[in-house]
Amino acid sequence: MKSKTHITPAEAAKRLGISERTLANYRTEGRGPKWKKVDGKVMYENVAVKEYPSRQKRQSMWDRHEPVVLNWKTPAKTQHHDV
């Protein structure tokens, strides 16, 4: 049996454990697994859907790190003394 290279949004959403609406939102936000239009229909690359959860875990590791915050002190006001 030949492996499918592309799957429907319904199949992709089911595999990812999310709703089709969430998957559609991901598309509009430029997130989610790789997809393309085939004969005017949105189709997801089978391999991209399989790899997406593990890719998210790798990326989310970076999200846990706190951003670097530089504590710049404002210079003290210069004291002018009359001499």
Closest CA to 33 of 18, 43, 19, 44: 44
What pLDDT digit, counting tens, does each position of 24-71 carry? 999 999 999 999 999 999 999 999 999 987 666 555 555 555 555 666
Confidence of residue 1 (pLDDT cuts 50, 70, 90): very low
Assess contact for 4 and 13: CB atoms under 8 A. no
* pLDDT number for residue 39: 93
pTM above 0.85, yes or no: no
Per DSSP, 67 falls in state P
Q: What is the mean pLDDT of residues 8-24?
A: 95
Quote the CA–CA distance of 47 and 4 in Å, as a whole number: 10
* pLDDT number for residue 76: 64
Structural domains in the chain, sorted by start: 6-58 (1.10.1660)
